[in-house]
Structure 1
Amino acid sequence: MFLTCLHFINKHDYPLNTILYLSCLIYNFLHRDISLILCSETDREQIYGLDGEEMWHADFRLEKGVMTLPQFADPYSYVEGTYEGAVSNIETCKSNLAILFIVVVGLSDHLPVYNDPHVSVYSKDDVVLGYKNTLICYISGFYPAHVGVSWTRNNVNVTDEASLSRYYVNDDGSFNLVSALSFTPEEGDIYTLPLWRHGALERPYDQNMGDVQAELPDAGVGASVFCGVGLAAGLLGVAVGTFFLVKGNNCN
């Protein structure tokens, strides 16, 4: 059995947006335990996992630990005090921010470890005008773990209506994130999803270029969804944004 941990600081306009990551992978024969601690001046997260599946996370808003495994015949739970330990870990993480900023980031203005985010956006169900649906944004393979996500509907910011998952770590140390937005498609609606403030991006994504039309099966009053994928030069790769335009089909 061996333990490997990785510390990383992501710097954006320090000290307002400095994020410290502690990702530990504990290898023990056939199974792999994961302990992930993330903190910044505004964000915090701690999860435990096994073999790539989340088992427990700290809900700091509700001030309790949450088991995320299915209900088995013989339920498993973490010992009492695990949530309190997570609170202590976050406080320690935050107290180390200033120190590690000086020791690590101060040695170089450009840390070499970045991986730009890849984005897939799709609807939960076939898009039909007037019927409630969900837009799902799956952001994968990015490093470090902080990425800003915003949604707009017809140029109006609706990010507060969207949900945002916890960060999930991959085998290579990169991260995944899921955001979802409930919507009822109406003719002419335009939904945009820009990504901003990630270490792999030279600047926030701020434009859409190109479009691909995806026809959905005719369902009486059907709809077409136009998906545009925007590309912009990043520090090491590509900035990504996606928009949806819902338009009614003419049905004879």
Structure 2
Amino acid sequence: MKSCVFLAALLLTVWTAVQAETVTHLTRHLSACQNNGTLPERDYELDNDELFHFDFDKKEVVQRLPEFAKYWGPPEGAAARAEADRQTCTYSVDVFARCHEYPPEKLVPPRVTLFHENDLELGKPNTLICFITDFHPAAIKVTWTKNTLPVTEGVTLTQYYPNKDFTLNMFSYLSFTPELGDVYSCQVQHSALSETLTTFWEPDVQTDSDVGETAFCAVGLTLGLLGVAVGTFFLIKGNKCN
């Protein structure tokens, strides 16, 4: 009986350990297309992170992180499969639109957050990231400016990243070197917006002169408080003498 109890306890321990070490991952193959001129999309995701996608312009598979290509390669025949899925998707969109008498698209305006990738240091190359979230439909235009002038060099745009509610996210990157006084903006145009959504960014760092002014003010404030304290002391002493 004791042996049976020990065996049962041992099996329970092993089962618990296996359960504790079990990790669930989500693999998703996404095919998307529209009839408004937006390029179709075909990507492979792991836990909502893109592994690779198919570039329909260049007709090739693009690794999201090339350094991991030897670990996460595209499946055999991925290019042919992507093209077949594109044709199926385009056909299905037209059929469903006719069946439902071309219903109006759900319009969800994008939200924009603009931030820099690395610690900010004047004169040191960095990357500005324009994070565009929760928009629908996919057709969107993203542009950059520097001191009100258009910027095209050093700009990249990612694929769409879908949310569970079928809205989309996207990143746009701008390689730049921050200098004091420069003002950058990320401008987004979308059918759900009545006007262009513009988000501004400018360097917010302390220069040597700022530090000097701060130190000077601190010293002045300290001396002022010290003077008040000394004056109060002598005033009290004078009153006592009287």
TM-score by length of 2: 0.63
Q: Secondary structure at the match of 2:175?
A: strand
Q: Distance in 1 between matches of 2:190 and 2:72?
A: 38
Q: Distance in 2 between matches of 1:190 and 1:31?
A: 42
Q: Secondary structure at the match of 1:151?
A: strand
Q: Secondary structure at the match of 1:85?
A: helix
1:49 to partner: Cα distance: 1.8
Does 1:46 pair with 2:42? yes
Structure 2: which amino acid aligns with 1:165?
T
1:94 to partner: Cα distance: 3.6
Work out which of the residue numbers 48, 71, 75 in structure 2 matches 1:79. 75
The Cα offsets for residues 137-185 of structure 1, whole Å up to 9 and x where unpaired, read as 1122223333321111112111453111111122333222111101112
Structure 2: which amino acid aligns with 1:171?
K
Structure 2: which amino acid aligns with 1:187?
L
The Cα offsets for residues 30-72 of structure 1, whole Å up to 9 and x where unpaired, read as 5533222233424222112233232331123442224547749
Structure 1 residues 105 and 245: alpha-carbon distance in aligned structure 2, compared to 1, 3 A threshold: farther
Is contact 2:134–2:169 with CA below 8 Å preserved after alignment?
A: yes
Structure 1 residues 150 and 71: alpha-carbon distance in aligned structure 2, compared to 1, 3 A threshold: closer
1:123 to partner: Cα distance: 0.9
1:193 to partner: Cα distance: 1.1
Question: Partner of 1:32 in structure 2?
Answer: 26
Work out which of the residue numbers 110, 113, 116 in structure 2 matches 1:117. 110
Structure 2: which amino acid aligns with 1:152?
T
Q: Secondary structure at the match of 2:33?
A: strand
Runs of 4+ off more than 6 Å: none
Does 1:131 pair with 2:112? no
TM-score by length of 1: 0.61
Structure 2: which amino acid aligns with 1:51?
D
1:98 to partner: Cα distance: 4.7
Q: Distance in 1 between matches of 2:62 and 2:31?
A: 15
For residues 174-213 of structure 1, the aligned pairs below 5 Å read 174-198=167-191, 200-201=192-193, 203-205=194-196
- What number of residue pairs does the alignment pair up? 184
Is contact 2:131–2:171 with CA below 8 Å preserved after alignment?
A: yes
CA RMSD across the alignment: 3.1
1:136 to partner: Cα distance: 0.8
Structure 1: which amino acid aligns with 2:142?
V
Structure (1/2) with the larger helix percentage: 2
1:247 to partner: Cα distance: 7.1
Structure (1/2) with the larger strand percentage: 1
Is contact 1:186–1:247 with CA below 8 Å preserved after alignment?
A: no
Q: Distance in 2 between matches of 1:174 and 1:33?
A: 19
Is contact 2:39–2:56 with CA below 8 Å preserved after alignment?
A: no
Structure 1 residues 36 and 153: alpha-carbon distance in aligned structure 2, compared to 1, 3 A threshold: same
Q: Secondary structure at the match of 2:109?
A: coil
Is contact 1:132–1:185 with CA below 8 Å preserved after alignment?
A: yes
Q: Distance in 1 between matches of 2:100 and 2:174?
A: 38
Structure 1: which amino acid aligns with 2:169?
N
Structure 1 residues 80 and 97: alpha-carbon distance in aligned structure 2, compared to 1, 3 A threshold: same
Question: Partner of 2:220 in structure 1?
Answer: none
Is contact 1:188–1:247 with CA below 8 Å preserved after alignment?
A: no
1:96 to partner: Cα distance: 4.9
Is contact 2:144–2:184 with CA below 8 Å preserved after alignment?
A: yes
Give ranges in structure 1 of 5+ residues lacking alignment.
1-29, 206-239
Q: Distance in 2 between matches of 1:105 and 1:147?
A: 25
Structure 1 residues 79 and 187: alpha-carbon distance in aligned structure 2, compared to 1, 3 A threshold: closer
Does 1:55 pair with 2:46? no
Structure 1 residues 34 and 105: alpha-carbon distance in aligned structure 2, compared to 1, 3 A threshold: farther
Give ranges in structure 2 of 5+ residues lacking alignment.
1-23, 213-242
Does 1:169 pair with 2:126? no
Question: Partner of 1:150 in structure 2?
Answer: 143
Percentage identity across aligned positions? Answer: 32
